[in-house]
Structure 1
Amino acid sequence: MENVNSIKTGSTYLNLDRKIAVLKYNRKYLSNVFSLLNSDEMLQVVDCFLSSTPNHQTKINKLTSAEYVAVIKRLLIDDATVYDAFDAKEILTSVENLYSFYRSFLRISVMNATHNQILNTEFLGIDDKFNDLVRNLYRAVEEKIQGFPNHTYRQVNAGTNASIMIKPYKWSIPTEYEQLKSINFIDKIMLRPPMMMHTPSNKRKGTFSSVDYNPIDHFDGKPGEWYCYPAKIGESLAFIYFNQDYFVSGLALANLFELADEELITNHKPDLILLFGVDKTEGDVSHYHYDESNDIWVGEVPYNDQTTYFGYMKKMCLTLHNLHMIYQNRLPIHGSMVKIKFSNGKTKTVVFFGDSGAGKSESIEALQEIAGEQIHEMETIFDDMGSFTLDPNDPEGLYAQGTEIGAFVRLDDLSSAVAFNNMDRGVYLNPEQKNARVIIPANTYDRVIKRHHIDMWVYANNYDTEIGLHRFEKLADAKKTFTDGKRFALGTTDEVGMSTTFFANPFGPVQEQARTQTIIDGVFDVLFKNNVYVGEIYTHLGNDKSKDSLNQSVQQMLDTLMDS
């Protein structure tokens, strides 16, 4: 593991490089100003702040942490002699900088429900009170120094950005996985959106490969440093274990995958296990392994700055899920699916297919923008990954399901209306950088996994110069386009320019091409037998950044759907 610049106590963990703070309320809960000012935790934060202040620019910033806190105490009791030693403006500036320094961390409070038997309402209230405490202390000091009360108050998240309640669930643990027994599960999670989080990395590289060893064999994660997010990914049960330095990704999961409850987990075995932030991996890259004897897909992602990008956690989860689907004879679909209710009374389900940057989400957004009153309602079933299942007992012989309850999208690809309408629920990642992302809730779990029939399946073609919609007349031509997986890469991964990916999906199908091809053949046979519209939409995103051509293509799609 990389050298971590961190401070640990029984109740607090600060990672100064990743800017993550973990506050364990069960170990110590600071309930009033007196306990906060007299705590070791306060001294640690002040010490980190003073150490980070360039050249200790002012007299007050040259103090030790204990001396600095003593000045704050004197201010609170109206000891005017403090101004004999320090300039009031310098004190105010320093205190404001300290407040901003602490709030620059991603701050997570942790409560163990087993120790305190905390109720849901108490779980939220306890964290609210700590936020009030930190905010009120700052305001009290600020107003004492400036000599008058503020005229404007902003209820910022002063203490924490998020809170989790953890429990030691009893699940059906195979003997080989006993080292996971002591790691607590996240039982409840509370986010304070909009959340603006930052990571050293902002792009994913490469694909994930299989290994002949089980990653669990060299897992040595410690309780209190690791947490498990139990997720429902489609119909797969996944245990996502992550190191506390990856709390950015761990929290972002709440907007993407439904949190599994205790009833689903108790005495059950997961389909997928992910170990995220492990010390040792082969070649310092991400791998997966199929534990055939226990029927569990196990993934490992190494601890380094590169893997802090949320795409690593999301895509490894989806790779494991998709492999699980393939082994159940289901076809993973890299795409988006929407159910559209038209004003003329018709309802159509459309699946957009293609690799990252092809224009799947952009096509859906364009539909919303140009349809006007023609569309009564449009429901997103899945935004990035779903699956097709061949079922001889189904009237259509085939149905589709989604995997995620949320959407992980580029900010640049969102219209201002969509971005602002979802701001109060979003988790934003590196919002000021290129490839900035937001994770927003999109639908309920029950709707996502419901069995949906398909009216149209289109390949998002972002490289050809044509405009509009093209329907494949020949099955072989359609299958070739979909399996070739061509796209013009837009730099959302480490690829640039024209590329090809088997079935446009590097997360499962690429790793199991032979198995996947057999399912692809069966799916296309059923779709063409049922005369389902299988085609391609020309998105032009590799050539036309204005999206004018995309809008023309989407208009043709809209006309086709309404007339069919």
Structure 2
Amino acid sequence: MEKTNAIDLASFYANPDRNVAVLNFNAHFITNIFDLVNSEELAAFVRLFLKEQRDKTPEDAEAKDTFNLVSPETYLATVKAILTDSPDAYAQYQPAEILASIEALYTYYRAYLRVATMTVKHNDVVSAEFMTIDQRFNNLVIRLYRQIEEKLQGHANHVYRQVNAGSSACVLLQKINWPVPAGYEDLRDIRFMSRLMLRPPMMLHTKSNKRKGHFTPTATNPIEHFTGTKDDWFCYPAMIGESLAYIYFHRDYLASGMALANLFKLADHARIENHKPDLVLMFGTPGSEGDDQPANGHYFYDAENDLYVGQVPYNDDTTYFGYMKKMCLTLHNLHMISKHKLPIHGSMVKITFTNGKTKTVVFFGDSGAGKSESIEALQTVADDEIVNIETIFDDMGSFSLEDGKLYAQGTETGAFVRLDDLSSEVAFNNMDRGIYMNPEQKNARVIIPANSWPRVVAHHEIDMWVYANNYDDAVGIHRFADEATAKDTFIAGKRRALGTTDEVGMSTTFFANPFGPVQEEAATRPIIDKVFDRLFKDDVYVGEIYTHLGNDKSQDKLNESARALLKVLLDL
């Protein structure tokens, strides 16, 4: 899987093909500048940097005295000579030329997602300690850089910027015992992420920026093809709604693995030890030969162990975070269907009005239908009518019937949204907490925390359920007069695709949810019938809001629809 020019030391791993680096502080923790400049880790990274510089330099430039084209030995010897004020430090190269190369090396290193790891046998390292250890390394790296920089430029800096010089994030890893079923023994020694420290805003870049295709069932349990080891795999234990999920991923997928921290609650030690998960995902492992869409991902229901098992293969396409998120939600939704709960592809908000009323609204629809945009528009037009809009779930939830009452629960504690969908106020207010994916590209995304897990999984009553209609040219909001028409609209899952997936133009998806209901349509239909029956018996507002996004994307028309929605909510 790794490229041949990757660095793979016990203490340091770096893959330039994925811009991912892993520092293992257990194997080697560097404590001073002398050890850093003499370390095997720095020497390996300098070799990698110089190789890339040489590969992109025209052949006719090799004859020139270019510091980026020296040998790694000469490069490091020069750095050491500069640090010790040796008189022959500039015998061949001018300080300005050396400084330009040092700046390029420093920038190149910081372009990687750099994750520092520490492994503990017991939960005996408090948060402050592991973060302090990582901060010491960051301080060391930036101190080395500044010493070299200031010696080369001949004076102290006038402006200092406290960038994340050493690492982008730090993870405390721990091996935790859980009842591993027969056949799953290869997962036993893979360490769980027990605590994470992120340094947002994090700007991550992946080779893919769009999801395509569907996840499909496979006749073979993906665990049979798992080839990972405790050295190159990690596990993020997540609470997806109330489902316990063990999300295993190859270290080259650390961009997606770290982003999970802003999306799903990290399960604690007590929830993992001696507990079998409901869901297992293996991300970055070979699939089964002969499977449909082998490049996309599959799931398998292990009936013997009552376990939903997902697999997403190692390739460039699956570096897009949407694959990680949507496979997790597919497994969760399949689990919900098996418990006779109805997965909802949509957003749910609890709105508090200035008149004291609170209303819970669920916006329903497939990707790009206008769920998030409708909420943003409602905030824009509300003026002084709304005190607060609380996000219960941003993308996926479930409806359940209990004791004759209908409730909704969420899945994610965060939101994975297009940057274009966010108002400038929301975007800037959350910048210091966000994980940004390919922010300079089309379909740029950000993952931001949204709500607490207890609040997300609480039982919420439903006051309104509206279908986000982005294809009709109408404006406003419309209530369905009868159950059959409403059900037909929601089941058809019609929308005009906006380029967030590989679909183009008008499309239909069963119940607007390709992540569970599409795969288990026969099992989902009876649950839909019961939910709609309950909604109409309880006289819940079931309708559709015209978002206009599939037509001219007029903000004025969406705002007009939002005003109509606001009026209906105030009159409910």
TM-score bracket for this pair, using the shorter chain length: over 0.9
Q: Is the 8 A contact 1:281 1:302 kept in 2?
A: no
Q: Which blocks of at least 5 consecutive residues in structure 2 are unaligned?
A: none
Is 1:449 the counterpart of 2:460? The answer is no
The Cα offsets for residues 258-316 of structure 1, whole Å up to 9 and x where unpaired, read as 00001011111100000000034333331000001110000000000010000000000
Q: Is the 8 A contact 1:319 1:507 kept in 2?
A: yes
Q: Which of 540, 547, 551 is residue 548 of structure 2 equivalent to? A: 540
1:298-377 equivalent positions in 2, closer than 5 A: 298-377=309-388
SS where residue 288 of structure 1 aligns? strand
Is 1:7 the counterpart of 2:18? The answer is no
Q: What CA distance in whole angstroms lies between the structure 1 residues aligned with 2:545 and 2:18?
A: 42
The Cα offsets for residues 60-89 of structure 1, whole Å up to 9 and x where unpaired, read as 223221221111111112223322321111
Q: What CA distance in whole angstroms lies between the structure 1 residues aligned with 2:397 and 2:296?
A: 26
1:202-281 equivalent positions in 2, closer than 5 A: 202-281=209-288
Displacement of 1:58: 4.5
The Cα offsets for residues 315-348 of structure 1, whole Å up to 9 and x where unpaired, read as 0000000000000000000000000000011000
Residues 525 and 280 from structure 1, CA distance in 2 versus in 1: closer, same or farther, beyond 3 angstroms? closer
Which residue in the other structure is 1:417 paired with? 425
Residues 192 and 89 from structure 1, CA distance in 2 versus in 1: closer, same or farther, beyond 3 angstroms? same
Q: What CA distance in whole angstroms lies between the structure 1 residues aligned with 2:240 and 2:99?
A: 49
Q: Is the 8 A contact 1:58 1:90 kept in 2?
A: no
| Corresponding letter in the other structure for 1:294 | N
Q: Is the 8 A contact 1:258 1:445 kept in 2?
A: yes
Which residue in the other structure is 1:388 paired with? 399
Q: Is the 8 A contact 2:548 2:554 kept in 1?
A: no
Q: Is the 8 A contact 1:5 1:15 kept in 2?
A: yes
Q: Is the 8 A contact 2:213 2:296 kept in 1?
A: no
Displacement of 1:120: 1.9
Q: Which blocks of at least 5 consecutive residues in structure 1 are unaligned?
A: none
SS where residue 284 of structure 2 aligns? strand
Which residue in the other structure is 2:37 paired with? 37
Residues 143 and 120 from structure 1, CA distance in 2 versus in 1: closer, same or farther, beyond 3 angstroms? same
Q: Is the 8 A contact 2:474 2:546 kept in 1?
A: yes
Q: Is the 8 A contact 1:4 1:17 kept in 2?
A: no
Q: Is the 8 A contact 1:281 1:301 kept in 2?
A: no
Q: Is the 8 A contact 2:193 2:236 kept in 1?
A: yes
Which residue in the other structure is 1:485 paired with? 493
| Corresponding letter in the other structure for 2:265 | E
Q: Which moved more, 1:80-89 or 1:318-327?
A: 80-89
Displacement of 1:117: 4.4
Displacement of 1:546: 3.2
Residues 295 and 116 from structure 1, CA distance in 2 versus in 1: closer, same or farther, beyond 3 angstroms? closer
Q: What CA distance in whole angstroms lies between the structure 2 residues aligned with 1:115 and 1:153?
A: 39
Displacement of 1:414: 1.1
| Corresponding letter in the other structure for 1:6 | A
Q: Which of 180, 199, 210 is residue 192 of structure 1 equivalent to? A: 199
Q: What CA distance in whole angstroms lies between the structure 2 residues aligned with 1:557 and 1:208?
A: 35
Q: Which of 98, 118, 124 is residue 131 of structure 2 equivalent to? A: 124
Displacement of 1:535: 0.1
Which residue in the other structure is 2:119 paired with? 112
Which residue in the other structure is 2:389 paired with? 378
Percent identity between matched residues is 61
Q: What CA distance in whole angstroms lies between the structure 2 residues aligned with 1:442 and 1:465?
A: 32
Q: What CA distance in whole angstroms lies between the structure 1 residues aligned with 2:86 and 2:67?
A: 16
Q: What CA distance in whole angstroms lies between the structure 1 residues aligned with 2:175 and 2:190?
A: 7
| Corresponding letter in the other structure for 1:27 | A
Which residue in the other structure is 1:22 paired with? 22
Q: Is the 8 A contact 2:5 2:48 kept in 1?
A: no
Q: Is the 8 A contact 2:406 2:461 kept in 1?
A: yes
Which residue in the other structure is 1:523 paired with? 531
Which residue in the other structure is 1:98 paired with? 105
Q: Which moved more, 1:367-376 or 1:183-192?
A: 367-376
Q: What CA distance in whole angstroms lies between the structure 2 residues aligned with 1:87 and 1:547?
A: 56
The Cα offsets for residues 333-367 of structure 1, whole Å up to 9 and x where unpaired, read as 00000000000110000000000000000111111
Displacement of 1:48: 1.0
Displacement of 1:519: 0.2
- Taking only aligned residues, the RMSD between alpha carbons, in angstroms, comes to 1.2
Q: What CA distance in whole angstroms lies between the structure 1 residues aligned with 2:4 and 2:309?
A: 26
SS where residue 284 of structure 1 aligns? coil
Displacement of 1:30: 0.8
Q: Which moved more, 1:45-54 or 1:535-544?
A: 45-54
Q: What CA distance in whole angstroms lies between the structure 1 residues aligned with 2:536 and 2:122?
A: 58
The size of the alignment, in residue pairs, is 561
Residues 357 and 218 from structure 1, CA distance in 2 versus in 1: closer, same or farther, beyond 3 angstroms? same
Q: What CA distance in whole angstroms lies between the structure 1 residues aligned with 2:158 and 2:533?
A: 69
Displacement of 1:2: 7.1
Which residue in the other structure is 1:46 paired with? 46
Q: What CA distance in whole angstroms lies between the structure 2 residues aligned with 1:11 and 1:417?
A: 42
Which residue in the other structure is 1:561 paired with? 569
TM-score normalised per structure 1: 0.98
Q: Is the 8 A contact 1:490 1:496 kept in 2?
A: yes
| Corresponding letter in the other structure for 2:472 | D
Which residue in the other structure is 2:85 paired with? 78
Displacement of 1:10: 1.1
Q: What CA distance in whole angstroms lies between the structure 2 residues aligned with 1:2 and 1:222?
A: 14
Displacement of 1:116: 9.7
Q: Which moved more, 1:332-341 or 1:81-90?
A: 81-90
Displacement of 1:179: 1.1
Q: Is the 8 A contact 1:4 1:15 kept in 2?
A: no
Q: What CA distance in whole angstroms lies between the structure 2 residues aligned with 1:2 and 1:42?
A: 20
Residues 452 and 16 from structure 1, CA distance in 2 versus in 1: closer, same or farther, beyond 3 angstroms? same
Q: Is the 8 A contact 2:122 2:174 kept in 1?
A: no
Q: What CA distance in whole angstroms lies between the structure 1 residues aligned with 2:486 and 2:48?
A: 60
Q: What CA distance in whole angstroms lies between the structure 1 residues aligned with 2:345 and 2:496?
A: 16
